[in-house]
Amino acid sequence: MSLSQHQAELFGRVLSLINEGSNGEKDSECTCSASFSTLLENFVHLDFTEEEAEHHWKNILVCAAELEKKLSKPVNAHLAVVDYFTSKEHRLNSPMLIEVHVFKQTEKLAMVDSLTNVFNRRYMDIVLKKEFNRCERYNKSFSLCILDLDNFKQINDSKGHQFGDLVLVELSTLIKNTIREEDVICRYGGEEFIIILPETDTAGAFYLAERVRKAVDLTPFFTDNNISFSAGTASYPACAQDITSLIRVADKALYEAKFTGKGKTCEAPPERRRFWRFPKEWEVDILSKDSNELLSTIKTKNISVGGFQFESKLSYNIDTRINLVFKSMDKALQGAKKDITVEGTITWVNHQINEVYSYGICFSDTPEALEKAFNSGM
C-alpha cells in the first residue's frame, strides 16, 4: 500500500496506539502492517475496504481520546476498537479481543517475504521513509544497494523454478549473515534485493556489495552452479535528494553493471549540481598516505569537490588512503601558483581490459575547504 503523507501520519498514530496497548511494552520490530483494513481484521474479524477502514481508524482514535479523558488513564487499542464497534457502530454483539501475541505475529508476517524470510517491499517503504527523515533532520547520510541475480531466467528455465526459489533463499540467507545488524535487507521483487545501509556513504555501500560478492565466491553452492549477481549503489544526499530519485539512480547503476558485463558493482554518480567543478587540466601526484612515497602521476580534467576518476595499470585496494598533489597544467600559471595538497580515499575499482584499472577517489576535506584550496591554486 502506498500511503500519502496524511495517511502515513494516521497510520503512525494507529500503530502508536497499538504499541502502547501491549502491556506498556513497545515492539520495535512491529512498525508496520499490510494496511488499515488488515489491522481491523486482526482485531475484530470484520471485512472493510481500505477507504472504509481508514475512516473507521480516524473515528477509533477520537473514541480512544474520549475514553482516556473519561477514565483519566491511557486506553489501549483493543479497548478503543471494541468500544467503537459496540457502542458507536453497533457491529459487535459479543466482542472477543485477539491476544496481543497473536496480533503481533500476524503483523510481523505482513512485513516479511514468505519465500526468503527477509523483509518485503511494504516494510522497505516504511524503513526508507523513516531513514530519510532521520538523515534529513540530523544532516546524516545513508545508502542503498540493489542486488540482482545474473541470468536468473536461464536458471529457472534450465534447472526449474524450485531450484530458482532455492537460489533466492540461499542468497538472502547469505546476505543476512554478511551485513551489519543495523542494515535492513528487503526483497524488492523477483530476483532483486535492496539493502538499506544507515550511516553509510558511497564508499561504504560499494564495500558492502563487494563483501557480499566475496562471500558468494567462497560458497560452493553458488560457485558450483555459476551463480553471480550485479549490484548498483547510491547514497543520500550525495546522489539524490528524495527516496524516489535515490532508488532510480541506484537502479540505473545496477543497469550499468548489467550492461557492462554483469558480476560487478557500479556506483551512482554524485548529483552534478551538488559539486562545483574545477576548470583547467591538472597533473596529479598520488602518494602513499603512510610513507608519502610517489605511487603514480596522472593527468586529469575531471575534478570536482566530490572527487575524481583516473585509470592506471597499478593495482590499489578499496579504502586505500592517499595524499594528492595537484599541479596546474596551465603554462601561464606554472610557477606562479602553489601546488595543492589534499587527502583522499579510493572508493571504487573497476578492472578494465589490457590490465588497466579504473579508480574513483573521494576527497577527505570539506567542499568549502577544497573550493578555497583550488581557487588559491588557480
pLDDT digits (tens, 9 = 90+) for 187-211: 998 999 999 999 988 888 999 999 9
Whether a cis peptide bond, with omega within 30° of 0, leads into 237 is: yes
Task: Show which of 227, 255, 270 is a domain's final residue.
Answer: 270
Long-range contacts of 290-297 (CB under 8 A, 24+ apart): 290/321, 292/323, 295/322
133 and 249 together in one domain: yes
Sheet holding 142-149, edge to edge: 184-189, 192-198, 142-149, 229-236, 265-267
| pLDDT at residue 108, rounded to an integer | 59
Are 79 and 213 in a shared domain? no
Q: What sign does the CA torsion over 135, 198, 120, 251 have? A: positive
Q: What are phi and psi of 119, to 5 degrees?
A: -65, 155
The answer to whether residue 116 is domain-embedded is no
Instruction: Return the amino acid letter for 273.
Output: R
pLDDT tens-digit readout, 273-290? 455 556 567 788 888 888
Average pLDDT over residues 218-224: 94
Answer yes or no: do 230 and 155 share one domain: yes
Beta bridge partners of 357: 312, 351
Crossing angle of the two packed helices 36-44 and 100-109, in degrees rounded to 10 = 150
287 or 359: which leads in pLDDT: 287
The answer to whether the beta carbons of residues 283 and 297 sit under 8 Å apart is: yes
Task: Give residue 135's identity as a one-letter amino acid code.
Answer: C
- At 306, which CATH number? 2.40.10.220
| Amino acid in position 109 | L
Instruction: Tell me the pLDDT of the chain averaged across its residues.
Output: 79
DSSP 274: G
Q: 212 and 310 share a domain? A: no
Is residue 227 within 8 A of residue 156, CB to CB? The reply is no
Look at residues 245, 270, 295 and tell me which one is the last residue of a structural domain: 270
The residue from 109, 138, 155 where one domain ends is: 109
Using DSSP's 3-state secondary structure scheme, residue 348 falls into: strand
What's the distance, Cα to Cα, between the start and end of the chain in Å? 54
Q: Rounded distance, CA 75 to CA 264, Å?
A: 53
Element (H, E) at 254: helix 243-259
DSSP 119: B
> Could you say which DSSP state residue 112 is in?
B
Alpha carbon distance 3, 129 (integer Å): 11
Query: From residue 182, how far is each of 95, 102, 197 by CA, in Å?
Result: 40, 26, 8
In this prediction, residue 353 has a pLDDT band, given cuts at 50, 70 and 90, of low
99 catalytic, yes or no? no
Q: 137 and 266 share a domain?
A: yes
CA atoms of 107 and 35, how far apart (whole Å): 10
* Same-domain check for residues 261 and 291: no
- Looking at the fold, whether 129 and 253 belong to one and the same domain comes out as yes
* Closest alpha carbon to 275 in 367, 143, 372: 367
Residue 272 confidence (pLDDT) above 80: no
201 and 325, same domain (yes or no): no
Structural domain containing residue 162: 121-270
Mean predicted confidence (pLDDT) in 261-277: 73
Q: Say which residues have a Cβ less than 8 Å from residue 14's Cβ, sequence separation at least 6.
A: 36, 39, 57, 60, 61, 77
C-alpha 147/C-alpha 265 separation (Å) is 9
| Residue 151 and residue 259 in one domain | yes
Instruction: Give yes or no for residue 332 having a pLDDT over 90.
Output: no
Among 308, 243, 319, CA closest to 270: 308
Contact 203, 348 (CB under 8 A): yes
Q: Residues 71-77: what's their mean pLDDT? A: 77
Show the cell assigned to 55.
475512516
Cell numbers standing for residue 172: 538472502
The catalytic position among 191, 281, 368, 371 is 191
Q: Order across the sheet with 357-363: list the strands.
A: 294-300, 282-288, 321-328, 340-351, 357-363, 307-312, 303-304
Give the list of residues 6+ apart from residue 6 with CB closer than 8 angstroms, or none: none
pTM: 0.51
**What is the model's pLDDT at position 279?**
56
Residues paired with residue 144 on neighbouring β-strands, in sequence order:
196, 234
Instruction: Note whether 292 and 323 are within 8 A (CB).
Output: yes
Ranges 52-66, 251-265, 308-322: which has the least confidence: 308-322
Asked if 237 and 286 sit in the same domain, the reply is no
Same domain, 79 and 149: no
